[in-house]
Structure 1
């Protein structure tokens, strides 16, 4: 009986020790929270109604319509009928709430642009219950960042700023903020991925986490276990409007660069290459002679851009930027954006099966809506039907002028075949086929006649003013 008891104890002891070791390996966040809560702030804003103003922060739909959207990346700011939003009426001032943190003892505060956008009054509340007015120093909508300044205050508590470059997938991170108006709520999780590119912003390589983030956390800090801020909580991916396990933060390295520019100049300047790029999938990699999908495929080079002056061409694939590998096309914009204006960067590109180097002097990113520039125009000649399942015709002058292309042929009809399978549509303009420029119907006929059988070939089309590469298998 005693022996049986000892045997059972021997079986249970390793399990108990394993459970104890597992519990002991989990981080204790108490000291981190105690040390940093004083520098985290609650930000409340008041916006006076303006005649004809949409009450949903400039969005082209109201909050109820927003909730009905199936899948979206959304800023998590207070709606008009939420506990941190304004009243249902259109004439009352709108009040909203978010989070932020103090980065200098004289009162500079970082938060998200969408937290304070359009606000007439901004109040910063510290955890010692002080409520202090703040002025808006500057905003950068491209990165969704804003800098505030608490006036006439000294020796304010500050966070310790870390480096997002040191982050690793799988490490613990912690957020402090005010979700749904509940001040100083602490949530924790791990880094799920780094360098994420979102549809809303190509110049920010977001940190993805599974930290619980909800409306009101926006603009709050993301800490590592050393108590350093490594990111600013900015967006969530959601179908319900609340947390679903996928949250995104602005890397603190990028945030501090924006902060310094807004503090010192009031505006933010970013590097600009002047190209439209797309992902290289398996079929495109095959058609361009790459052993595996990688790099950023240049779909269009803008007229007068640094890329054009350096000799970059549509169809080039950027493999490296200043010695850094480009694995996904989304890797390139943040690298270019961080490069000082006027500095020369070296690109390693694949062109016609050969790898070459190009030096390009980085320009200044134009204001939104001014990035594109038109190209010169030229002439053409008679319709052609080909065994690819599409009919093309000379490009009309008005279409050429409206698209800003120098040549190409217009797809007038599509039937079942390789062209339809590739995704080519009527009214597309084909400017390149199998990496050969197409300036006329005759060019198109000759190129089609020389296409290899049973091999993927690239097709560059311009659709609604945007260039894109498709893959066709004759």
Structure 2
């Protein structure tokens, strides 16, 4: 009796055939000043490496040449509009002096850069075709599940029109590539040259843009990452319309909600984004959102952890009024805010940071008046492993603390204490304890004593550094 053979996965030949014409190879060239005067390696005639070295040193001009070197690179892309708009990665075309798009039928067209977004590593190109191009549609990456089949088409190692198949291995991956990391992970083979190419679902819709791989060898080991279309589609629309991105901006500084912070705030679980500061002149500088608030939902989208908030805010249109669900003083409340523009906000924050940064040339030895040394701030008994004192003018000058900071100065931190473990250093300022402002050392002692009487295990502190940057930390109460 013949042994039954197990059927393999269903063929994707029909699917691939209808998509290959929309995927393109992108070649770029960049003129680089030739700083290295090393001679071209002498390769024996007929050597299998001769073509490689000839191509690599193309334009070098040989030993002693003062000419610049032409560096070529290859990547992938795909047509998103028959009129000639092509999506790819920013790193594929970054710094290029010349961009050429190679189509599956062998034709080539020069491309113009429409716009780029380094934060998501995306770029949009435009070619001028004589006839409408074959384009592929975007699909909804949000409905894709771990284990769903996907297909990648690209230009690995310059081998155009290569098709690979795999599954979605994970979603929502953060690989520290940018502020809005939310990658789809796939085991479909992705190699160098695949960057900028599409990741398709089994309907032939683009659900990701292949962007990065983890590989010690440079080749695929089955761990590739794609920017999901839920993020990319809006970016391409903005680049096409404006030539740049126009992201929403809330104007807050945030930090994670740890288990200790959640306990101190009376939360049943650690979730959301903790507001540690409000940007002066920003969209919520009117008091609608306050420091100490925890954002748990934004415009109907849950904020499970801190990194979710910047992404959902950035995806929201500038000027849109949105509902924000907050946790404030242990109670949930909904406020409405109107978003500003992130690109304008970044300039504003940079200016604010520059203004708040102390003069780098100033040292503790310089901080004297009339040739007299400043008196050291008065030391007090240790509280939570910290010496504290009132923030008077002497303390400001000793620790170079800006005038905008209000609270109680930390004059010393005992080693091997909870405060030291949390990174607190002399010159930091306690602004709040348990979300209540403190102005004197006696108020700090009283607040800590009250927390002890309530059998609290941690004290929630708002700490300002000497430049005024705020952060929340919890310090264990012994």
TM-score (norm 2): 0.80
CA drift of 1:207 comes to: 2.1
SS of the aligned residue for 2:343 comes to: coil
Residue 397 in structure 1 maps to residue 396 in structure 2: yes
Paired residue for 1:29? Answer: 12
Paired residue for 2:473? Answer: 470
Residue 342 in structure 1 maps to residue 344 in structure 2: no
8 Å contact kept, 2:379–2:387: yes
SS of the aligned residue for 1:147 comes to: strand
8 Å contact kept, 1:196–1:206: yes
SS of the aligned residue for 1:161 comes to: coil
Paired residue for 1:324? Answer: 301
Question: More deviation in 185-194 or 284-293?
Answer: 185-194
Give deviations 1:340-360, integer Å, cap 9, x for gaps: 111111111111211122111
SS of the aligned residue for 2:171 comes to: strand
**Alignment length, in residue pairs?**
427
Q: Pick the aligned partner of 2:342 from 361, 365, 378.
A: 365
8 Å contact kept, 1:459–1:470: yes
Paired residue for 1:60? Answer: none
Distance 2:211 2:318 in 1: 27
8 Å contact kept, 2:276–2:292: yes
Change (3 A) 1:402 1:177: farther
CA drift of 1:182 comes to: 2.1
The unaligned stretches of length 5 or more in structure 1 are 1-8, 54-80
Q: Pick the aligned partner of 2:381 from 373, 378, 385.
A: 385
Distance 1:298 1:254 in 2: 24
SS of the aligned residue for 2:95 comes to: coil
8 Å contact kept, 2:33–2:69: no
Distance 1:82 1:385 in 2: 71
Paired residue for 2:132? Answer: 155
Distance 1:245 1:50 in 2: 37
Residue 299 in structure 1 maps to residue 276 in structure 2: yes
The unaligned stretches of length 5 or more in structure 2 are 37-51, 61-66, 358-376
CA drift of 1:87 comes to: 6.7
8 Å contact kept, 1:376–1:406: no
Distance 1:88 1:408 in 2: 64
Change (3 A) 1:427 1:189: farther
Distance 1:264 1:409 in 2: 51
8 Å contact kept, 2:153–2:162: yes
Change (3 A) 1:338 1:111: same
Distance 1:265 1:230 in 2: 23
Paired residue for 1:233? Answer: 210
Paired residue for 1:104? Answer: 81
CA RMSD of aligned residues (A): 3.1
Paired residue for 1:417? Answer: 417
Paired residue for 2:236? Answer: 259
Question: More deviation in 88-97 or 321-330?
Answer: 88-97
- Within 5 A, what are the aligned runs for 1:173-212? 173-212=150-189
CA drift of 1:390 comes to: 2.2
Distance 1:462 1:231 in 2: 41
CA drift of 1:240 comes to: 4.9
SS of the aligned residue for 1:106 comes to: coil
SS of the aligned residue for 1:154 comes to: coil
Paired residue for 2:441? Answer: 441
CA drift of 1:406 comes to: 4.2
CA drift of 1:402 comes to: 5.2
Distance 2:466 2:55 in 1: 41
Change (3 A) 1:290 1:127: same
- Within 5 A, what are the aligned runs for 1:8-157? 16=4, 20=6, 23=7, 26-50=9-33, 91-157=68-134
8 Å contact kept, 2:356–2:402: no
Distance 2:301 2:146 in 1: 19
SS of the aligned residue for 1:397 comes to: helix
Give deviations 1:49-82, integer Å, cap 9, x for gaps: 25889xxxxxxxxxxxxxxxxxxxxxxxxxxx99
SS of the aligned residue for 1:263 comes to: helix
CA drift of 1:307 comes to: 2.5
8 Å contact kept, 2:77–2:197: yes
Distance 1:191 1:336 in 2: 26
Change (3 A) 1:94 1:369: farther
Paired residue for 1:222? Answer: 199
8 Å contact kept, 2:448–2:459: no
Distance 1:52 1:444 in 2: 60
Distance 1:218 1:411 in 2: 52
SS of the aligned residue for 2:291 comes to: coil
8 Å contact kept, 2:400–2:466: no
Change (3 A) 1:410 1:212: farther
Give deviations 1:410-466, integer Å, cap 9, x for gaps: 353332222234443444443333222244434333323323345122223345865
8 Å contact kept, 1:85–1:96: no
Q: Select the structure of larger CA radius of gyration.
A: 2
